[in-house]
Structure 1
Amino acid sequence: MALSQPWTAPLAGPLIPGSPYAVVVLQEGYSRGLPDGSSQADGTVSLVLGPHLTLVDTGGPWGRERLLASLARQGVSPGDIRHVVCTHGHSDHVGNLNLFPRADLTVGTDFSQPGGRYLPTGLRQGAPFLLDAGRLEVLPTPGHTGHDVSLLVRGTALGDVLLAGDLFEREADEGEWQRLSEAPGRQAESRARALGLADVIVPGHGPPFRILVPAVHIQATGQRGCCGNRCGMFLSVLFAAVGLLGAGYALAVSVPGLVHGPLCKYLPANGTLSEWGRPFQTGEGALDFSEESYLFDTRRWDTCQEPPGVTQFNVILFSLILGAGGVEAALCFIQVFNGLLGCLCGTCNEEKTPPAPQTYN
């Protein structure tokens, strides 16, 4: 499903408070191109504070000392970490795994315990892996690589936080993430689901950002089955109807403003002193579209003495509003028609039962 990114805003700082779990971004990831055509990058590293102390991604091996110092500032040593979740296997995300031999490791869809004991998780089959049921969930989010995962932290002070790795490179990364993706189609689907789940996203190479507009429409249109399809189309009708109201208001304001002309200082035909008023308004405020209208006789535009150039400004301003309102009304009307058609004749997708989540013991 093609999707443009919703309205977002960066967070003010690295701490996302909450109880029982809070999130601290220890290292803000980055990625920048170099003059020789290569790039320099390191991944975001985050610490989830709470009953199950969890580190999400470890950065590159070149940042080993920085990672240890960042943990120490939180009063945490490597031996305190209970879980390490690496969103995928690239070196800027798994480079310091050897610092945590006593932690349980989730690397992509693989899960292992100290001593090299590997256990099944269901992540490869699309099932969530619950580190702390109802609070910490590892979710399969493939696309950037075939085995990407993200960690969902539920119930922080800012809502549900998704530590997403390179599912999102950074805020407003549309047009960039595709060239780095092994499977752009799958990643687009994973991104759509993520936007429907999270209130805050921590991307792989940039600061965390909030989702300002809840992705209700994204969730509804992504649901499988007749109901999900039709509900999504119905929501699009509602949003388009709001757009039609805005377009109607723009038209209602711009037409009288354009036809009646500006409020200005002018010299009345039978007067000797200038006064303020609307020299181009006729009768009782009726809309005049005749050839005698000032709109079709630019020689009359100098009637207004003050402010200078106000007639030209008035014509340009309300013409732009009128044009924009007309285009908005046309597009919203088309969307209303399309949405109603989808509500009545929407396609039915095959219903599939998602795999049951597995719980960490």
Structure 2
Amino acid sequence: MDAIMTLTKITDGAYLVPLGNANAVLLDAGSDLVLIDAGFPDKVDRVIDAVGKLGRKPHDLKHLVFTHGHPDHIGSAAAIVRATGARTYMHAADVPLAESGGPFRPMTPGRGLLPSIAFRIVWKPNEPMEPFHIDQHIADGETLPLAGGLRVVHLPGHCAGQVGFVWQGKRLLIAGDVFMNIFGLSDPVGFEDEAEGRRSQRKLADLAPETVCFGHGKAIIEGATTRLERAVAQR
């Protein structure tokens, strides 16, 4: 088994699960577990191990929700669905990516050294993923009745169908790839539409979350709004 090394608590009921240089978020708030994003391919064992660390069984993972349809967020999705029977959720703009397995829409690198290097190393739009079915299309402004309620916020730019999820008021914002937080806040690896991406970065800061986590890098546990505002002002 490709065992998970860490399961990091973000806040009560929410855990960051590293899935091969990309994060998933596991929500344990009720009878059913919710996983947001599925990481790179071949990480299903890490997900099952994370579920076990919470004292739960694979079939307790009932919902698999996606911030967007890029390979590092859907790579293990088909395998996770087979292992758990989880129901799947994604913004309509990215559903064709999941259900075809690629190719993926072109991007240009984000600004800065880290995004430009990562773009060259990891972005492989023509490398296919195993396709899988999306059970429910989600849209901006709706609240999914999962884990006590996940409010959907459309945050396009990095990816046309990218969304974030606001959980428990403003207690936690799960923000996908609007930013990375590896060596501080930076642009994501790339943008499908940079102008839209800048608007989404501004929108993210305006949400004024208490805590925010991203698809890549550490969660910001304290001072999230201040750090987001500073990052936006630098762009």
If the TM-score is normalised by the length of the shorter chain, which range does it land in? 0.5 to 0.7
Q: Does 1:103 align with 2:124?
A: no
Task: Structure 2 unaligned segments of length 5 or more: list them.
Answer: 1-6, 99-131, 230-235
Question: In the alignment, what sits opposite 1:186?
Answer: 196
Hey, which bits of structure 1, 4+ residues long, moved more than 4 A?
115-120
Letter in 2 for 1:46: V
Distance 1:71 1:134 in 2: 19
Normalising by structure 1, report the TM-score.
0.44
Task: Please say if residues 79 and 100 of structure 1, whose CA atoms lie closer than 8 Å, have aligned partners that are also in contact.
Answer: no
Question: In the alignment, what sits opposite 1:43?
Answer: 22
Aligned counterpart for 1:86 among listed residues 66, 87, 98: 66
Greater Cα offset, 101-110 or 181-190: 101-110
Instruction: Quote the offset at 1:149 in angstroms.
Output: 1.4
Aligned counterpart for 1:151 among listed residues 165, 173, 187: 165
Q: Does 1:199 align with 2:180?
A: no
Task: Structure 1 unaligned segments of length 5 or more: list them.
Answer: 1-12, 30-40, 219-361
Instruction: Quote the offset at 1:191 in angstroms.
Output: 1.8
Instruction: Quote the offset at 1:82 in angstroms.
Output: 2.1
Task: Please say if residues 63 and 87 of structure 2, whose CA atoms lie closer than 8 Å, have aligned partners that are also in contact.
Answer: yes
Q: Does 1:74 align with 2:49?
A: no
Distance 1:208 1:184 in 2: 23
Larger Cα Rg: Structure 1 or Structure 2? 1
Deviations 1:66-96 (A, max 9, x none): 2222221122333211211121122221122
Normalising by structure 2, report the TM-score.
0.65
Give SS of 2:88's match: strand
Q: Does 1:131 align with 2:145?
A: yes
Distance 1:213 1:26 in 2: 20
Give SS of 1:210's match: coil
Distance 2:71 2:155 in 1: 19
Q: 1:15 to 1:107 in 2, by over 3 A?
A: same
Letter in 2 for 1:152: V
Give SS of 2:50's match: helix
Instruction: Quote the offset at 1:145 in angstroms.
Output: 0.7
Question: In the alignment, what sits opposite 1:25?
Answer: 16
Give SS of 2:141's match: coil
Task: Please say if residues 151 and 166 of structure 2, whose CA atoms lie closer than 8 Å, have aligned partners that are also in contact.
Answer: yes
Task: Please say if residues 26 and 45 of structure 1, whose CA atoms lie closer than 8 Å, have aligned partners that are also in contact.
Answer: yes
Q: Does 1:14 align with 2:24?
A: no
Instruction: Quote the offset at 1:132 in angstroms.
Output: 4.4
Superposed CA RMSD in Å reads: 3.1
Instruction: Quote the offset at 1:134 in angstroms.
Output: 7.1
Identity of aligned residues (%): 24
Task: Please say if residues 152 and 164 of structure 2, whose CA atoms lie closer than 8 Å, have aligned partners that are also in contact.
Answer: yes
Deviations 1:130-182 (A, max 9, x none): 33497322221111111111222115xxx5211112112116333x43x6111
Count matched residues. Answer: 180
Task: Please say if residues 29 and 147 of structure 2, whose CA atoms lie closer than 8 Å, have aligned partners that are also in contact.
Answer: no
Task: Please say if residues 201 and 210 of structure 1, whose CA atoms lie closer than 8 Å, have aligned partners that are also in contact.
Answer: yes
Q: 1:136 to 1:205 in 2, by over 3 A?
A: same
Distance 1:184 1:71 in 2: 36
Q: 1:100 to 1:57 in 2, by over 3 A?
A: same
Deviations 1:304-350 (A, max 9, x none): xxxxxxxxxxxxxxxxxxxxxxxxxxxxxxxxxxxxxxxxxxxxxxx
Give SS of 1:165's match: coil
Task: Please say if residues 200 and 209 of structure 1, whose CA atoms lie closer than 8 Å, have aligned partners that are also in contact.
Answer: yes
Letter in 2 for 1:160: R
Distance 2:8 2:204 in 1: 20
Distance 1:185 1:138 in 2: 21
Give SS of 2:175's match: strand
